[in-house]
Amino acid sequence: MDSPTSKIGENVRVVVRVRPLNKREMERGAKCLIAMDNDTQATSILRPDARDSGNARAAKRASNDDSKTFTYDRSLWSVNPEDPHYAGQESLYDCLGKEFLDHLFAGYNTCIFAYGQTGSGKTFTMMGSNDDPGLVPRTCNDLFRRVDKLSDSHQCSVHISYFEIYNEKVRDLLAAMVSDNGGLKIRESPCDGPYVEDLAEFQVRTTASTAMNDQSSRSHAVFTIVLRQLFQDLNSKSRIEKISRFRLVDLAGSERANATGATGIRLKEGSNINKSLTTLGRVIASLAENDNRKKRDVVPYRDSTLTYILKDSLGGNSKTAMVACISPSDYDETLSTLRYADQAKRIRTRAVVNEKENNLSAKLLKDQLENVLSSHVSRGVELENLKKEKDEMRLMFEEWARNLDRENKALKIERDALRAHLRLAIESYKNPIPVICENKEADVEREKNAKAVNDLHDEWSDLLQDIGHFKRDIQEDIATFAIVATTAA
Ligand SMILES: Nc1ncnc2c1ncn2[C@@H]1O[C@H](COP(=O)(O)OP(=O)(O)OP(=O)(O)O)[C@@H](O)[C@H]1O
């Protein structure tokens, strides 16, 4: 999704900062050659001979002829803390860091790089000291403070990486095992541009600046923060994902190779540093010029590791600022830095908000959630029904068991009564009460009795057989019901 910025583009912001005279400079009686105008944000540099002239008229003439003035977005006077316009670390963060962090949260890639000769205050500006932290720790602190204030539905993750470019090779400064096997490779992705392959990235929740290694004035150090945000857009109700990157770069000292007087390895080192810095100069010049031309030059990003990695930050999808650090009493180097910074002002970048709607996956997630929920609900209902059924069956079997017991008892009583009757009948059959009959009538009576006894015997035999069957049936029933009751429980 392009922002209006992408069509118009905007210039690289340039801030110049002058440091205080150091002990050595004060001891040799060096004078501050820099003047800054707080109203116009102009920085002027005066030739040292003109500055040192005791002649008032010569000095006045010199201030017209021998001073060079450049106007920047900001000119920060860090020479004397007593000065009313003194700009310390906090002022720098307030006028640059804060705004760039705003851009990062808005979804823009951002980059601030510190440029200047050795000892001009680049590392102090980027890192600062424990007592007076610079841009990197202030940015990290502010970043986590802002993340903490976001609502729970606005999810954020922060990853950092830190590498240096030394002798045109990339070395990871955060990896636990740093191998010296020729450095990390640089690759280019169609979406994200050049990147360092296999660079350690750490997800962090607190200030990460303490993890940093010592700075080397001979290497270019690149600290990168990647912020990933996921939140709901209140107007469109869609899920938005923003991934933006903040690069904070502390460049090596910009002094020319011939001025270092280096030989051997140091010379190679110097020329390699110079290769990155001179290429940076050519890239900046080319970008600055291209804006005025119809037919654009090919920008020589690929001519050095530094410019290749910073391709996007220098002329592409990024809001970029340069802090040009200057020494107060070094005319040549400071003038060269001021000219460099003046040229950088003309570079235009075209930053876009790096965001995408995440509706598809959000809808997918919602559907999945609904499916899971409904299957849970139907399983719950099913389970409830099964429980009910089981309870009903248990009650039924308990009732059956009670009835069975009752019937069993009744049958036992009946059987016992029948047994008693049978026993008596058999007894009376075996030992009949003798009947004394003197006449024929008595014989007839005896025969009748004998027949009745026989009939009774047959009747009891049948009855006993029936009882046997009945008993077997009952035992089978008991066995059947016992199995069913155990299964149901
Ligand atoms: N604005 C400032 N206020 C106070 N002291 C400063 C300021 N800028 C720089 N210094 C001091 O000047 C010295 C040199 O600064 P610094 O190391 O930051 O320079 P540098 O440009 O990073 O040098 P190099 O290229 O060698 O890394 C340090 O002692 C630092 O504390």
Q: Please identify, by atom number, the ligand 1 atom nearest to the C-alpha of residue 253.
A: 25
Q: Please identify, by atom number, the ligand 1 atom nearest to the C-alpha of residue 88.
A: 1
- The residue that leads in pLDDT, 18 or 62, is 18
Can you say how many angstroms the Cα of residue 446 is from the centroid of all Cα atoms in its chain? 116
Q: Is the distance from CB of 215 to CB of 221 less than 8 angstroms? A: yes
Which residue type is seen at 178? V
Closest residue to atom 13 of ligand 1, CA basis: 119
Q: Which residues contact 274 (CB under 8 A, 6 or more apart)?
A: 256, 257
**166 pLDDT higher than 60:** yes
- The residue that leads in pLDDT, 125 or 281, is 125
Average predicted confidence (pLDDT) for the chain: 80
Q: Is the distance from CB of 222 to CB of 249 less than 8 angstroms? A: yes
Q: Which residues contact 174 (CB under 8 A, 6 or more apart)?
A: 160, 161, 162, 163, 200, 202, 211
**300 pLDDT higher than 80:** yes
Of 86, 124, 276, best ligand 1 pocket probe by most atoms within 8 Å of the beta carbon: 124
Ligand 1 within 6 A of CB of 128:
no
Residues 186-242: pLDDT tens digits?
777 776 777 777 776 766 564 444 334 344 567 899 999 999 999 888 777 788 899
Using alpha carbons only, give the angle 324, 328, 330 rounded to the nearest 5 degrees: 90
Q: Please identify, by atom number, the ligand 1 atom nearest to the C-alpha of residue 114.
A: 21
Ligand 1 within 6 A of CB of 3:
no
Half-sphere exposure of 477 (CA within 13 A, CB side): 14
Looking at residue 468, what is its pLDDT?
82
Annotated binding site for ATP: 116-123
Residues 137-153: pLDDT tens digits?
999 999 999 999 988 88
Looking at residue 327, what is its pLDDT?
95
Q: Give the whole-number percent of the chain exceeding pLDDT 70.
A: 78
Cα separation, 227 vs 150, in Å, equals 14
ipTM attached to this prediction: 0.98
Looking at residue 53, what is its pLDDT?
46
Closest residue to atom 1 of ligand 1, CA basis: 19
Closest residue to atom 8 of ligand 1, CA basis: 121
Q: How many other CB atoms are found less than 10 A from the CB of residue 398?
A: 13
Give φ, ψ of 223 to 5 degrees. Answer: -105, 125
**56 pLDDT higher than 80:** no
Which residue type is seen at 404? L
Of 19, 213, 215, best ligand 1 pocket probe by most atoms within 8 Å of the beta carbon: 19
Confidence of residue 272 (pLDDT cuts 50, 70, 90): low
Q: How many other CB atoms are found less than 10 A from the CB of residue 474?
A: 16
In angstroms, what CA-CA distances link 33 with 18, 52, 92, 288, 345? 10, 10, 22, 28, 23
- Rounded to the nearest angstrom, the distance between the alpha carbon of 124 and the centre of ligand 1 is 5
Ligand 1 within 6 A of CB of 328:
no
Looking at residue 215, what is its pLDDT?
46
Looking at residue 396, what is its pLDDT?
83
- Rounded to the nearest angstrom, the distance between the alpha carbon of 121 and the centre of ligand 1 is 3
- The residue that leads in pLDDT, 263 or 275, is 275
Task: Indicate the pTM of the whole model.
Answer: 0.68
Confidence of residue 69 (pLDDT cuts 50, 70, 90): very high
SS3 annotation, the chain: CCCHHHHHCEECEEEEEECCCCHHHHHCCCCCCEEEECCCCEEEEECHHHHHCCCHHHHHHHHHHCEEEEECCEEEECCCCCCCCECCHHHHHHHHHHHHHHHHHHCCCEEEEEECCCCCCHHHHHCECCCCECHHHHHHHHHHHHHHHCCCCCEEEEEEEEEEEECCEEEECCCCCCCCCCCECEEEECCCEEEECCCCCEECCCCCHHHCCCCCCCCEEEEEEEEEEEEECCCCCCEEEEEEEEEEEECCCCCCHHHHCCCHHHHHHHHHHHHHHHHHHHHHHHHHHHCCCCCCCCCCHHHCHHHHHCHHHHHCCCEEEEEEEECCCCHHHHHHHHHHHHHHCCCEECCCCCEEECHHHHHHHHHHHHHHHHHHHHHHHHHHHHHHHHHHHHHHHHHHHHHHHHHHHHHHHHHHHHHHHHHHHHHHHHCCCCCCCCCHHHHHHHHHHHHHHHHHHHHHHHHHHHHHHHHHHHHHHHHHHHHHHHHHC
Q: Please identify, by atom number, the ligand 1 atom nearest to the C-alpha of residue 116.
A: 21
Ligand 1 within 6 A of CB of 337:
no
Closest residue to atom 15 of ligand 1, CA basis: 121
Q: Which of 125-134, 340-349, 438-447 has the highest mean pLDDT?
A: 125-134
Both ends of the chain: CA-CA distance in Å? 66
Looking at residue 19, what is its pLDDT?
97
Q: Is beta strand 110-115 parallel, antiparallel or unpaired with respect to 239-250?
A: parallel
Ligand 1 within 6 A of CB of 118:
yes
Confidence of residue 407 (pLDDT cuts 50, 70, 90): confident
Residues 437-477: pLDDT tens digits?
557 787 788 788 888 888 888 888 888 888 888 888 878 87
Looking at residue 131, what is its pLDDT?
93
**315 pLDDT higher than 80:** yes
Annotated binding site: 116-123
